Structure 1
Amino acid sequence: MAANKTVLTVLVSVGLLAATACTSSPDGGGATPRTERLTTTTTPGNAEVDRVTWALPYGEPTTLDPAKVGDYSPQTVEANLCETLTRMNPDFSLSPGLAQKVTWTDDHTLVLDLRSDVKFWDGSPMTPQDVIHSLERQRDPKTQALYGNFLAAVTSIQATGPHQVTLLTKTYDQTLPKALSTSFGAVSQKAYTEKAGPSYGTAQGGLMCTGPFTLGSWKSGNNITLERNPSYWDAKLQPKAREVVFQFITNSNTLTSALLSGEVDGTYELAPSSATALAKTDSGTIHLGPSTQNVLLIPAHSDSPAADRRLLDALSQAIDRDALIRHVFGGDATPLKSLVPPLTWRGDAAAAQFDAAYEALPAVTKPDLEGAKKLAEQAGPVSRPLVAAIPAGDQRGLQALTFIQAAAKKIGVDIEIKQLQPTEMSSLFYDPSVRKGLDLILTFGYVAMPDPASYVAEMVTPGGIFNWTNYDNPDVTRLLGQARTSTDPAASAKAYAEAQALFTPTVPVVYLAATHERMFMNKRISGAPTSFAYMGMPWAAYLGGTGK
């Protein structure tokens, strides 16, 4: 039984990632990654600052609707606008958010005790009805939401008090409270959302949320400006920056110049080439943080010859991952053995069990051209070049795919690189029509919460939003279901480990690397978290001036 288990008490007691004392900058060139170089936070910025300009290297968001954001740019912005019911911390632990307490009172009842002092940007109080509407619209087909699967076990969502919402479920679901820390758990005002309709979250429709910043303006093709929310409820997180301006800069060289000149104050997802240039100056600091990002090469659809696991295994054996990490990622990554990096479960009560199962997986493939050629022969000749997609202007992606292209050439497989505009690249993850004409996608993906099973399920179970090749293994589906519904962390970890052992060698994916977060800030500001947790927390509220 899970009776009276206050979820946040469990999750806060162990952070997913531990901060370290070292804050040294990377040299940008080929060093072996060392965990002591990773940090989760920076020195607090204590002074007020009129404006901070931040880059979005993946381009302009397609939407800021919390129900629909699922990529780097939109989540980087939206996390500062629409707050979640539980809050992600820089060390990947969870703490209370708009819900001050989240409790399983029994295996079928999840109670959310809401804060009573939260107001939307227009001054109206947040009510249980707003929370219910925000959750319910996730499973309304008209919303076209990305996260409706998190409600798979939920049978009803009801107001059970003036500041309380209760979710009744068919079964215990250990994923559900964790998901409340993602954009799935963000709360929008019901009245505003209903009035805006399909335009909610767009430049025209706007937003109405409770976060530390309001959406000041959105100039399509130019920038998005956030303004400080003067009536924000959390006194400990009152923003010091009056305004945060997001610039859409997808070209690495352009971004490097803007950071060097001070035109842009900072960025997440700094390219290794930019890091090399910036490390030679004293204009600011490059910070490395822990991350749940994974670099994968994925077939675009089941009809492509690239969907043949034998061909993918041939490509995998042809790739020198150590060289890839050294030359493309500046040494700031580690080889990846499966879909999910180990940091994902670091704060789980059964972390040692997860670690042991991951360690037991076959070793990372070493380059073996002769073996790769034999596998390619077994798969059969590929009569045309395989078309592989990356975002236009993404130098890191281009370098990685060029590296893979050269390795594939050695075993007789031709790869044609196609650079897509950032909005098109973002859309292809959720729109099958955009993937037509493509064979491979080089993805820089990520796990948004401390729960490997839910992420993997979207890639390997029938109907999963990222299961582009229709992979279907009933045993994997069953085991992932057990991992999600078990009330015992050890039993959940065991089920996931068994599923991992089955899908890792069979799902059509080439596992490449788990990267570290690389962030840059210039000297005049500080305070931003350095870990990948920034994607799910109001990170800009931590920014402040340094007086330099």
Structure 2
Amino acid sequence: MKNKKYFLGLLLAGITVTGCGSKDSSSSKNNESKIVTVSLGSKPKSLDPTMYNEIPSLSIVKQIYNTLFKIDSNGNIVPELAESFEYVTPTELVIKLKKGVKFHNGEELKASDVVFSIKRMTEKPATKVMLDVVQSVEADGEYGVIIKLKEPSAPLLFTLSYPLTAILNEKYILEKGNNIGTDAMGTGAFKYANWGDGEKIQLVANENYFGDKAKIDELIFRAIPENTSRLAALETGEIDITTVAPIDVQTVESNNELYAVSFPTTSTEYLTLNMNREPFKNKEFRKALHHAIDKQSIVDAVYLGKASVANTIVNPTVFGSDQTIGKTDYNPEKAKEYLEKSGVKNRTIKIMSNDNSVRLQAAQIVQANLKEIGINAEIETVEWGTYLQMTAQGDYDIFIGGWVAGTSDADIVLFPLLHSSYKGGAGNRANFDNKDYDKLVELGRTSTEPSERLKAYSEAQTILEEESPLIPLYYKNENMGLNKRITNFEAMPNLIHDYSIIEIKD
């Protein structure tokens, strides 16, 4: 079996924390029945794994489905649904599946399901960009799969470890007419029970799971957009696990029934500039914006130090990040020089944000920074679904957003976000088009030599610093609050946690 480790496994090992202390009487009923409630910041778009590359959806998908591979605590690729795998040539991957794995409908996992799933992935926008290297996939008996590639692909195994590439049951999908967004069915440690209009999604433990069975009986996901509302629900025992705003960490820590976890992630928050619109086609104007923004102020005021200034769009925990470049400094005077050089006269723009209070606070600091150099920036706030739709359609000037490098490889950042072949809703929402950049990220994708990939990605990030289609802002920590009855929670840097391993303290 051939297996290469391309990044530090320590970062993917996660942070395992154990709660301690007394039990909240308000949650005693949940404790007896082993029910755990997790709150998400927004309603998931769909439980169809291949539809949306967004954390609210994939957080639930992770519990219901499995992938062919997973990443172990040392950062190595290991089999999950696969029994073994081997590259017989640089462009031919042979996979043997585990026998006896059952879908929630009782059907046994077969090679035909994997073939169907991968072919379906190559047709869906969210996964097409990740698997366009696949030339063909075919079954080799009931438990063998052969994947042939157009060219070598270093990120492929990491891609096939991400919940976006979960394996589906062909028969079930065909019966449902592909409409599984609110009726999920996989092989995972939890079975889907109820959609609840997406506001309260109920899962139950899969007693026939092929791996280590869940330690709890029921897992509920509740969508609570407001930070203050999530914190209040945590304090009253309505929910057990949730993300909290940086300013609320101290409140959690002061509560004897709760504990907080803060950990680095693979995500980057940034501004996307719409290069299909004026004045953002103008490079001097884009560079003026970049020099005008005081990133450290955002880190200090909004994240209370639980973040760091971003030099490049690729988070430092991700393979391929080059933190020696991309250090565009906060310099209002230089920003004014670039602004004058740009010749732009109409200096009124809009910054779009979804209705996340922390992100809105960051947008307000950006707004104030731009005002200092003579740019009037209006903030437009929309709900999450509208935000995704409008940014995909290019209906914005600038938007503040974030990207999680789920596979912990720079390919998942640099290719879909900025390669010219993925302009628009496919990922490149800045509509950036640079042939030299394209060649570099293509080399990073096809080379199997880590040193060559690192060099290509470094040069690509140098181009991004010069062109500024995106303005990296900060690398944030994720802050979570948990009820002390929850133990063995493992915080994952890609924000997609495995809730099957958590336990409830008696």
2:380 is the alignment partner of 1:380: no
Please point out which of 222, 232, 251 is paired with 1:247. 222
Match for 1:529: what amino acid? E
Please point out which of 439, 444, 452 is paired with 1:478. 439
CA distance in structure 2 between the aligned counterparts of 1:302 and 1:17, rounded to whole angstroms: 37
Q: Gaps spanning 5+ residues in structure 2: where?
A: 21-30
Alignment of 1:63-74 (within 5 A): 63-74=46-57
Q: C-alpha displacement at 1:380, in angstroms?
A: 3.1
2:150 is the alignment partner of 1:156: no
CA distance 1:370–1:534, shift in 2 (3 Å): closer
Counterpart secondary structure, 1:197 = coil
Do the aligned partners of 1:308 and 1:508 also contact (CA within 8 Å) in 2? no
2:263 is the alignment partner of 1:267: no
> In the alignment, what sits opposite 2:261?
287
Do the aligned partners of 2:191 and 2:204 also contact (CA within 8 Å) in 1? yes
Do the aligned partners of 2:287 and 2:467 also contact (CA within 8 Å) in 1? no
Please point out which of 443, 459, 463 is paired with 2:421. 463
Alignment of 1:203-282 (within 5 A): 203=182, 206-220=183-197, 222-234=199-211, 237-268=212-243, 270-282=244-256
> In the alignment, what sits opposite 1:447?
405
Q: C-alpha displacement at 1:16, in angstroms?
A: 5.0
2:499 is the alignment partner of 1:543: no
Q: C-alpha displacement at 1:341, in angstroms?
A: 0.9
Q: C-alpha displacement at 1:443, in angstroms?
A: 0.6
Write the deviation string for residues 498-531 of structure 1: whole angstroms up to 9, x where unpaired.
2222233214111111112222211111222213
CA distance in structure 2 between the aligned counterparts of 1:272 and 1:319, rounded to whole angstroms: 21
Q: C-alpha displacement at 1:395, in angstroms?
A: 1.1
Identity of aligned residues (%): 25
CA distance in structure 2 between the aligned counterparts of 1:188 and 1:88, rounded to whole angstroms: 20
Q: C-alpha displacement at 1:11, in angstroms?
A: 3.2
> In the alignment, what sits opposite 2:165?
185
Q: TM-score if structure 1 supplies the norm length?
A: 0.85
> In the alignment, what sits opposite 1:401?
363
CA distance 1:331–1:463, shift in 2 (3 Å): same
Do the aligned partners of 2:464 and 2:470 also contact (CA within 8 Å) in 1? no
Root mean square deviation of aligned Cα: 2.3
2:474 is the alignment partner of 1:513: yes
Counterpart secondary structure, 1:111 = strand
Q: C-alpha displacement at 1:75, in angstroms?
A: 1.1
Q: C-alpha displacement at 1:377, in angstroms?
A: 1.9
CA distance in structure 1 between the aligned counterparts of 2:494 and 2:450, rounded to whole angstroms: 23
2:33 is the alignment partner of 1:6: no
Q: Gaps spanning 5+ residues in structure 1: where?
A: 20-38, 346-353
Segment of structure 1 superposing worse, 509-518 or 457-466: 457-466
Q: C-alpha displacement at 1:70, in angstroms?
A: 0.9
Counterpart secondary structure, 1:84 = coil
> In the alignment, what sits opposite 1:98?
81
CA distance in structure 1 between the aligned counterparts of 2:19 and 2:83, rounded to whole angstroms: 25
CA distance in structure 2 between the aligned counterparts of 1:444 and 1:297, rounded to whole angstroms: 8
CA distance in structure 2 between the aligned counterparts of 1:309 and 1:121, rounded to whole angstroms: 53
CA distance in structure 2 between the aligned counterparts of 1:162 and 1:312, rounded to whole angstroms: 55
CA distance in structure 2 between the aligned counterparts of 1:384 and 1:312, rounded to whole angstroms: 12
Q: C-alpha displacement at 1:248, in angstroms?
A: 0.8
Match for 2:249: what amino acid? A
Q: C-alpha displacement at 1:401, in angstroms?
A: 0.5
> In the alignment, what sits opposite 1:341?
315
2:127 is the alignment partner of 1:147: yes
Do the aligned partners of 1:12 and 1:95 also contact (CA within 8 Å) in 2? no
Segment of structure 1 superposing worse, 156-165 or 379-388: 379-388
Counterpart secondary structure, 1:79 = helix
Match for 1:477: what amino acid? D
Counterpart secondary structure, 2:268 = strand
Write the deviation string for residues 201-258 of structure 1: whole angstroms up to 9, x where unpaired.
2x2xx12210001111001153111111110000xx3111111111110011111111
Please point out which of 477, 481, 496 is paired with 2:457. 496
> In the alignment, what sits opposite 2:300?
326
Q: C-alpha displacement at 1:390, in angstroms?
A: 1.4
> In the alignment, what sits opposite 1:197?
177
> In the alignment, what sits opposite 1:34?
none
Please point out which of 4, 15, 27 is paired with 2:9. 15
2:26 is the alignment partner of 1:53: no
Q: C-alpha displacement at 1:428, in angstroms?
A: 3.9
Do the aligned partners of 2:121 and 2:165 also contact (CA within 8 Å) in 1? no
Q: C-alpha displacement at 1:18, in angstroms?
A: 6.9
Match for 1:53: what amino acid? T
> In the alignment, what sits opposite 1:411?
373
Q: C-alpha displacement at 1:91, in angstroms?
A: 6.8
Counterpart secondary structure, 1:41 = strand
- Corresponding residue pairs, total: 493
Q: TM-score if structure 2 supplies the norm length?
A: 0.92
Q: C-alpha displacement at 1:190, in angstroms?
A: 0.3
Match for 1:545: what amino acid? I
Match for 1:130: what amino acid? D
Do the aligned partners of 1:283 and 1:523 also contact (CA within 8 Å) in 2? yes
> In the alignment, what sits opposite 2:23?
none
